[in-house]
Amino acid sequence: MLKVLRARWQQGYRTIRYPKGPAPDLPEQFAGRPEIDSGKCTEQCNRCVEVCPTRAIQRARETGRLSLDTGRCLFCRECERACDAKAVRFSREFRLASSSRQSLVVSDDSPLPPLTMDDAIYRLLGRSLKLRQVSAGGCNACEADTNVLNTVGWDLGRFGIQLVASPRHADGLLITGPVPQNMRLALEKTYQAVPSPKIVIAVGACAIQGGPYVDHPEVHHGADCVVPVDLFVPGCPPHPLTILHALLAAVGAIPRA
């Protein structure tokens, strides 16, 4: 026992201090919120549009301006590599989540997306948040990054946020995966089992728009095709810090907008 206590003492404080302190260092390969500068396009080459596997990036015919839907984006950076003019680049900005699906579309000089919650839900759920995680056909990447938040390094429970085993004990759902047809009924029943008022959070490109399976006949175009979604967290998968930022906004631990 003394050896265990001594080892723990030597480890020191290991939980990140965010949001009261600085955010933890992000890995070098981290791809954050995209930045678009259509003015750098020297020609209508469309290479960035052509290489996107989910058609997340588009060019307006009338204006020639580029837009990138982070809800569809896999953050593979193929568009960034294809653009010699550097009109598309991925920043280090981890604040990607939004309460508005349309606000996930980034174009020239787009502001950070809003994170606003219904006041009635916020008054009831602002002190704590119990979520039932539903893996609706996911590859386990978004699920893994969500579960990381329960480790000592992140300690999600200190904010009053917990993942629970039963939807009847939950305030809402945290959905991952593209919601294939075989999971539709299960998701609907799980949603119905959560007492009202409730919140639904879609985590990852699959849960938002179908991810790499978009337009596949067996996959719905996001969880909001089956249940109403209040909060969208882009990424493939989203970094734990991106998910944490969204959850903290949901409980009011950081400014919601």
What is the tens place of the pLDDT at every residue in 42-93? 767 889 999 999 999 998 888 889 999 999 999 999 999 999 889 999 999 9
In percent, how much of the chain has pLDDT > 90? 68
The pLDDT score that the predictor gives to residue 250 is 83
Encode pLDDT of 104-149 as tens digits.
999 998 998 888 777 766 676 667 899 999 999 999 999 999 999 9
CA torsion 207-122-19-231 (nearest 10°) is 10
pLDDT digits (tens, 9 = 90+) for 30-39: 999 999 999 8
What is the tens place of the pLDDT at every residue in 197-213?
Answer: 899 999 999 999 999 99
Q: What is the 3-state secondary structure (H, E, C) of the chain?
A: CHHHHHHHHHHCCCCCCCCCCCCCCCCCCCCCCEEECHHHCCCCCCHHHHHCCCCCEEECCCCCCEEEECCCCCCCCHHHHHCCCCCEEECCCCCCCECCCHHHEECCCCCCCCCCCCHHHHHHHCCCEEEEEEECCCCCHHHHHHHHHHCCCCCHHHHCEEECCCHHHCCEEEEECCCEHHHHHHHHHHHHHCCCCCEEEEECHHHHHCHHHCCCCCECCCHHHCCCCCEEECCCCCCHHHHHHHHHHHCCCCCCC
Backbone φ and ψ for 136, nearest 5 degrees, come out as -95, 70
